[in-house]
Structure formats: C-alpha cells, structure tokens
Amino acid sequence: MERKRLNAFKVLAVLITVLFLYACGGNADYSPKPRGFFRIVYPEKTYQPYTDGCPFTFDYPKYTFFEPDKSRNAQPCWINMQFPQFNATLHLTYQPITSKKEFNELTEDAHKLSFKHTVKATGINTATIYYPDRNVYGIYYSIDGNTASSAQFYLTDSTRHYLRGALYFNSEPRLDSIQPVLTFIKKDVDVLIKTLKWKN
C-alpha cells in the first residue's frame, strides 16, 4: 500500500513538472511590450477673440475657457486659460507700466522666473517677439526637459502695458508623455502672441 502511494506521488510530481515546463516554454517568441500611453484625440483648431474688460485682445482656441486668478496677490486681468482636455493652464498676468524702473523690474522678473527652472531643464531657448505694427515686443522662453513649465513669455509696448504668460501642466512633468500635447498647445500660444493687440 505504501509502495502504491509512493508511485502515485512520483507520477504526480513528474506530471506537475512536465506541465510547468510546458507552460514556461510554450511561447519562445515572447518579448516585453514597449511602454504605452493613452491615445490622444486632438480637437479642431478654431479660434475666437478674447475681448473681456482687459486692455488687450487676442485670439484663443474654442476648446479652452478662462478663470480669474484666485491667488492672494491677484490683480485685475490676471487670468488662467484652462485646457481641460490636456490638464494644462496658461497663466496670464497683466501689469500696467507706470515707470521705466517698473518696466525694467518686470522684464527682469520674467527672466528670473523662466530661468529658475534650470535645475531640471535640459535647455532654455529664448526668442525675440517683435511686431512693431502692433507695438508688441517681448521674449519667448522655450524650456526643455522635465520641468514644471515648458513655455513662458512676456509681451509689452515698453511704456504702458505688460503681459506675462506661463504654461503649466497640472501633473508631474514627464516630457516623453506630454511632448505631443505640448507641441499642440504651443501652437495656440503662438496664435495668442501673433494676434495680441493693445486696446489703447
């Protein structure tokens, strides 16, 4: 009786081993799949004018909406352009210029705020904005790498108006995953800059 149990145990052990080896070696062509990302559906790019009670106007995409800045130090015409589909915000802060000293301080602050991202940035490229027909000048900062903000700019007429913009994604910055969306949104930022006009 003991011998029959021992033989049954051996047969069972061999059967389990064979099944295990078959399961492991059944697909010799297996290779891990590359990391995937969610499929992104981009809305159609159609624009409309922003004409609310601020001293400037520009064209913005219809798939965005505006909210007033709710920070403690917010001033009139500090607005946030929300891209809800992409979990991104373009923060716009307007400041009237009252003196040459204030203008210099504002432009220096824009430079400092852009370059504070150098800790995580792999590069920061600057481009001059120059539209003398509309009295619009400024600097565009394109920030590469896994930084909180990927694009910043300021626009001014150098004497009365100053508008600063900073694009942020409301999630952990990972350039490899947001790059297609970033490219899409940067086109909207370009439209804003190219269509901005001062009201007076």
The string of DSSP letters for the chain reads -HHHHHHHHHHHHHHHHHHHHHHHHS-TT--PPPP------PPP--EEEE-SSSSEEEEEETT-EEEE--STT--TTEEEEEEGGGTEEEEEEEEE--SHHHHHHHHHHHHHHHHGGGGTEEEEEEEEEEEGGGTEEEEEEEEEES-SEEEEEEEE-SSSEEEEEEEEESS---HHHHHHHHHHHHHHHHHHHHH-EE--
Q: What pTM was estimated for this model as a whole?
A: 0.76
The Cα–Cα gap between 56 and 200 comes to 8
Its sign, for the CA torsion 94, 99, 101, 103, is positive
Give residue limits of the domains in the chain. 65-198
Q: Please tell me the predicted confidence (pLDDT) of residue 123.
A: 74
Q: Which tokens sit at 22?
A: 């078959």
Instruction: State residue 113's pLDDT score.
Output: 77
> CATH for 65-198, among 2.60.40, 3.40.50, 3.30.300, 3.40.1000?
3.40.1000
- The per-residue pLDDT for 164 is 96
pLDDT of residue 143: 82
Shortest CA distance to 90 belongs to which of 121, 125, 50, 131?
50
Q: What is the pLDDT along the chain (200 residues), one digit of tens a residue?
A: 555 555 666 666 666 766 665 666 555 555 555 555 556 789 999 999 999 899 999 999 999 999 999 999 999 999 999 999 999 999 999 999 999 999 999 999 888 877 765 556 677 889 999 999 999 999 999 888 777 778 999 999 999 999 999 999 887 766 667 788 889 999 999 999 999 999 98
Q: What is the pLDDT of residue 147?
A: 73
The pLDDT value recorded for residue 88 is 94
pLDDT for position 152:
92
CA gap 152, 143 in Å, rounded: 8
- DSSP for 137-165 reads EEEEEEEEES-SEEEEEEEE-SSSEEEEE
